[in-house]
Structure 1
Amino acid sequence: NGRTTQRKRSSRSSSLANFTPTTHRNRSSSQIRSLQREITVPVAKPPQIRGGNLPKTFSEEVENAIRHQFHVLLTKKVYPTVEILFNRLHATYPDFPILSKTSLREYMHMLGFTFKQISNTKIPLEGIEIEAQRAIFYRKMGNLRSTGAHIFYHDETWSNASEEKRSIWFSDTGEGRLRKSDGKGARLAISAIIDQHGFHLPSVEIFNCTTDHNMDSEHFIKWIKSTSFRLRDEHGPNDRICIIIDNATWHSELTDDTKPGKRAWRKSEIQQWLIRHRIHFDPIMTKAELLVLASINRPAKRYKVDEVAMQFDVEIVRLPTKHCGFNPMELLWAALKDYIRKNNVRFRLNDVYNLAAEFIAGFDEDAAKNAIQHARQVEHTFRTGDRFVEENVEPYLKDTDSDTEVELDIEDEV
């Protein structure tokens, strides 16, 4: 019986269209809405770096904070030198983990910023690829909004059975304990979309992560197929529908005919790839030469997710790489996890499931609109900053011998 119960729990995957939470305490919808209206932009607070080598990566929130404050300065028509940006980051985020201007400069290099001369000052500028990705995103979103499309934002998050506040706490009934875990162990995956009306409950999915049941490309493609079908059924055959997704690896599996040649392939496999793509090659060419030829003739990318969604005339738009601030779901997940940590008193995965479902089912329209409006304001800040760079910075850059042309890998669907 124990094994049967465990199998049932591990295979659980649920829609919340008719969800009725069964938790250990009653909470009014007004309490949930009150917490939702307190949604704020998450402040980056990774462990402070006191010395030694700069880590190769910080959290995504730190990267997003650097890019966001960089563009806030641009919107104020301020050249964001490293010193000015450093001071603004620490004024905005008191616990910002990069503690010196030299380390900030080094980390910005790692993020793809280059330093260009303008007048007598060197200022950082983002890589052309990132700017181009944003320009494509702005254009697509502008077109969707101007045509009255139904726009849904998607994201996933994970939550552990041991989610709890990082302090001593007591429940309303007097229960309490010291934090005993690091938040690891069994966990749930949560996948959902929202629009201005809130969560789309029929497509919400919450399931136990196991070795055989995890978020991967196959699972996500099945989810996209069922969600696209539901959305098309709800909105009729003529309405324009779009789902905004990020660039997670399981969102980005290429169709078989557009997958590039790989170095791990045998020489004969590369030759077969070239033949299938009708690319002429000399039989005496080495494996390295064949791979270069395959790379030069690589077909335009097409994604399995996009192909499946288009079966139901649902468009997929991808966020620019590492621009989580453009996605209102990030704010919702922060509020959801805060809700779980405040109310998780028994540390069982089933309780976490119920708390997550309870939060999602009670999420109201006002909170959803506020989160989407915040994301659009972030998008507007970046758009304004990019326009300032193009019109007021790029024309005055000094040409230097160190400037190099970049090889772009950008796909535009104009």
Structure 2
Amino acid sequence: MFRPWEGVEQREDVTGQREDAPVRKEDAQVDRKVNTLCYKHYNTQAQQIVLNVYSAIRSEIGLYGAMKRTSELTKVSIDTVKRIVRRGTVKAEKRTKERFRKVDNFTADVMVRKIHDFYENNVVPTADMLFKEINKDEPMFPYSSRHLLNYLRSIGFKYGTLDKRRVIMASSRLIQLRDEYLARMREYRRQSKSIVYLDETWYDTHDVVKRGFYDCPSNCSLDTPVSSNNRIIILHAGTESGWIENALLLSARNIKNCSADYHQDMDAKLFETWFEYQLIPNIPPNSVIVLDNATYHRRQIEKIPNTGTRKDKIVRFLRDHYIDVPSRSTKKILLDLMKENNFEKRFFIDELATSKGHQILRLPPYYCIFNPCELLWGLLKEYVRNNQPNFSDNVTQILKNGITATNHHWRTSCEHVRSLENKYSRLRTHSPLIINLGSDNSSANSSSDSE
């Protein structure tokens, strides 16, 4: 008759005293199952606890009784107790579940190309659309469409708001304007000229702190005006050393009893007055003034006609510039004459800055990231939110205090802008390879980048 404890005792003696003990066939099969999860999923500490309990009670109730009692005390099966006693503690291997192991790199590349093809056709793909497209000819993705979203995330895709500006910023015209701006900025920095950045923003009635601790909305709420028509316009300029002294302009049209400098909306007249009498006298000589392409920054001294101009005004403009206009000319012919003469736009701000010994450098469209003022406006508004939840008479004083509080952030903001300029300078596109097929000896000519 086979007694289980006898086999266990022999096997225990194998590790301690008797090396020539016989091994039963059934026990040998148990040994081959040691690597199964029923034993190795217990960590080393848990196995040691089982051994400690077994060793403490073995001398009192015997071998088999100690194993049975250990199983009852530790809630571990008696078979597992036998294996732990026989083998000792075994370090458990970390179990990892490989996700999407049936999908290879080729399928991932196909998915990426399919998604890009959808966008090239001006279609935003969904998970169901992509799943049907991939498995149209043969099943390439052996999982359900529900798992496709998780797989797309694993290969680097994100689901979020699409940035429509990237298509515009990638156009050849804007890339050329960006490269021209960066080239001029590099030259000005090489000449060690003072770079002055100017910009404007506004603070309205709804720009308050939106998150906080509360137990009841009626007890924890801010006194915020219902209307969002009230706002205060902020116009300022600065250099790497900080804000320009005496250059702050505040304008609040709809705020009563507000000590702002002006009580009107921003327009070309107000901006030009500030530019001439507050900015120019307070900046270093021979500075470079960086600004964006807002309409009130680009008032023309003499407006040049375009396709939206009436025909009689185009004729008058051409004759004022001593250009012969054929009789019975169509508007298209007049516009062609305008293009042939290539009239250059002259802006009031540019002429004013040049007369004072400064240069104007305009930011390329959609590239406001090259202006450190954008970073400082966020810090300023955060300061005002924490000190001014509603619009009262002292809002202008809080704005002035916020300007002072953000003054020391100018240097780090300018360093961040320079890092962006270096990044985009490395992304300059090269001209395509041109092969002349008309000559006897084919040669490849590549034109260099324009500086």
Q: TM-score, normalised by structure 2?
A: 0.55
SS in 1 for 2:393: helix
Structure 1 segments of 4+ aligned residues over 6 angstroms from their partners? none
Shift of 1:137: 1.1
Q: 1:375 to 1:179 in 2, by over 3 A?
A: farther
Structure 1 equivalent of residue 399 of structure 2: 356
Asked if 1:225 corresponds to 2:270, the answer is no
Distance 1:274 1:379, change over 3 A: same
Which of 156, 161, 184 matches 1:97? 161
Take 2:373 and 2:157, find their aligned partners in 1: how far apart are those partners? 23
Is 1:384 equivalent to 2:426 in the alignment? Answer: yes
1:39 is aligned to none
What aligned pairs does 1:320-399 form with structure 2 within 5 A after superposition?
320-345=364-389, 347-365=390-408, 367-386=409-428, 389-390=429-430, 394-395=431-432
Q: Which amino acid aligns with 1:97?
A: T
1:245 aligns with 2:296: no
Q: CA deviation at 1:201?
A: 2.6
The Cα of 1:262 is off from its aligned counterpart by 4.3
Encode CA deviations 1:42-63: one digit per residue, 9 max, x unaligned: xxxxxxxxxxxx9xxxxxxxxx
User: Residue 138 of structure 1 aligns with which residue?
Assistant: 182
Match of 1:213 in 2: 264
Rounded Cα–Cα distance in structure 1 between residues aligned with 2:246 and 2:300:
27
| Matched-pair identity in % | 23
Larger Cα Rg: Structure 1 or Structure 2?
2
1:280 matched to which residue of 2?
A: 324
> Structure 2: which amino acid aligns with 1:335?
L
Q: Determine helix, strand or coil for the equivalent of 2:197.
A: strand
Aligned to 1:111: 168
Q: Is the 8 A contact 1:260 1:295 kept in 2?
A: no
Cα deviation per residue 1:156-183 (whole Å; 9 max; x = unaligned)?
000013421223468xxxx941585677
Amino acid at match of 1:362: A
Contact 1:163 1:344 (8 Å CA) reproduced: no
Normalising to structure 1: TM-score of the pair? 0.59
Opposite residue 305 of structure 2, the aligned amino acid is G
Query: Cα distance, 1:375 vs. partner?
Result: 1.0
- Residue 291 of structure 1 and its aligned partner are, at CA, apart by 3.3
Question: In the aligned structure 2, how far is the partner of 1:180 from the partner of 1:397?
Answer: 63
AA in 2 matched with 1:302: R
C-alpha distance 319-266 of structure 1, shift in aligned 2 (>3 A): closer
Equivalent position SS for 1:159 = strand
Unaligned runs of 5+ in 1: 1-53, 55-83, 99-103, 113-125, 399-411
Determine which of 304, 307, 313 is the counterpart of 1:260.
304
Instruction: Deviation per CA, 1:178-212: give whole Å up to 9, x if none.
Output: 58567722111111111111111311111213597
How far is 1:266 from its partner? 4.4
Please give the alpha-carbon distance, in whole angstroms, between the structure 1 residues aligned to 2:424 and 2:157. 16
Greater length-normalized contact order (CA 8 Å, ≥ 6 residues apart): 1
Structure 2 match to 1:201: 245
Number of residue equivalences = 276
Q: Structure 1: how far apart are the matches of 2:166 and 2:403?
A: 39
- The one-letter code matched in structure 1 to 2:391 is R
Confirm or deny: 8 A CA contact 1:161 1:352 kept in the other structure.
no
**Contact 1:216 1:250 (8 Å CA) reproduced:** yes
Contact 2:245–2:282 (Cα < 8 Å) also in 1: no
The within-5 A match list for 1:159-174 is: 159-168=203-212
